[in-house]
Amino acid sequence: MTASLHFDGHFDFKKDPLEHFDFLISEAKKHITKDHNAMALATCSKDGTPSVRTVLFKGMVRGGFSFYTNYDSQKSHELLETKKAAALFFWAPLEEQIRIEGVVEKLTREESEAYFKTRARLSQIGAWASEQSHRIAHFDDLQQKVHDLEHRFKGQDVPCPPNWGGFRLVPLRMEFWFGRSGRLHERYVYERASVQDAWKTYMKSP
């Protein structure tokens, strides 16, 4: 791998990690043509079974990485059980990645409803139609539900479903990874015991 596009041995630990994140994701938006905000989200069940999927990061909310989902989904059940999650941003063309581990909590109902209003209408209807993570007999059944809901909400705004909303992942650990030739990658870590504590910083061997 060649050198990262944005950093070449000049990482500043004096800056808050969210400052670095803001810069990197804004730069990724310039270079990644689709879903620069895609974020792999890892959760774990009470019995220790891990699960991972891709969600879309929707901005920082009160110091946490926000994303939205159906509260009846597998990921939501696991998030509410453990209150913990890990996330990963990986931008292959830039040879950069950011790992995040921390604690999770629901966004307020007002925050979820405000974001829901910004979604495309079909996505709003889809939030009502999909029983996320649950089995369905046939895709046609889902399409019929969408058709019925389009008729139900015709001529009116689509309200936010009561079982749909956001979470925020508040980081306790963040690692910034920059690709280097010869696999001599640079890894910079911020770590704290709780959200009230100051960050401790260190580098890791590739």
- 4 occurs within a structural domain: no
| Residues labelled catalytic | 183
**One domain for residues 45 and 126:** no
**Per-residue pLDDT at 9:** 56
pLDDT tens-digit readout, 89-145: 999 999 999 999 999 999 999 999 999 999 999 999 999 998 887 888 889 988 999
| Gap between the Cα atoms of 15 and 176, Å rounded | 13
pLDDT at 47 over 90: yes
Q: What CATH number does the domain containing 60 carry?
A: 2.30.110.10
**One domain for residues 48 and 59:** yes
**One domain for residues 46 and 86:** yes
**One domain for residues 49 and 113:** yes
**One domain for residues 100 and 132:** no
Tell me how many domains the chain contains.
2
**One domain for residues 174 and 130:** no
**One domain for residues 79 and 113:** yes
- 5 occurs within a structural domain: no
Find the farthest-apart pair of alpha carbons in the chain and give their distance in angstroms, rounded: 60
Among 13-27, 37-51, 84-98, 125-139, the least confident range: 125-139
User: Any alpha helices (H) in 55-120, and if so which ranges?
Assistant: 74-82, 109-116
**Per-residue pLDDT at 1:** 38
Reading phi first (left if > 0) and then psi (alpha if -120 to 50, else beta), residue 69 is in beta
| Gap between the Cα atoms of 174 and 50, Å rounded | 20
| Gap between the Cα atoms of 95 and 97, Å rounded | 7
* Run of H or E residues at 177: strand 164-178
pLDDT at 153 over 80: yes
**One domain for residues 81 and 141:** no
Q: Which residue range forms the structural domain that includes residue 70?
A: 17-117+160-204
**One domain for residues 102 and 168:** yes
Between the two ends of the chain, the Cα-to-Cα distance in Å is 13
Q: Which two tokens stand for residue 105?
A: 């909590």
**One domain for residues 74 and 128:** no
The CA radius of gyration of the chain, in Å to the nearest whole number, is 19
Q: What percent of the chain is modeled with pLDDT above 70?
A: 96
Do the Cβ atoms of 204 and 175 come closer than 8 Å?
yes
pTM of the model: 0.91
**One domain for residues 127 and 181:** no
* Run of H or E residues at 189: strand 186-191
Neighbours of 162 (CB within 10 A): 8
**One domain for residues 133 and 36:** no
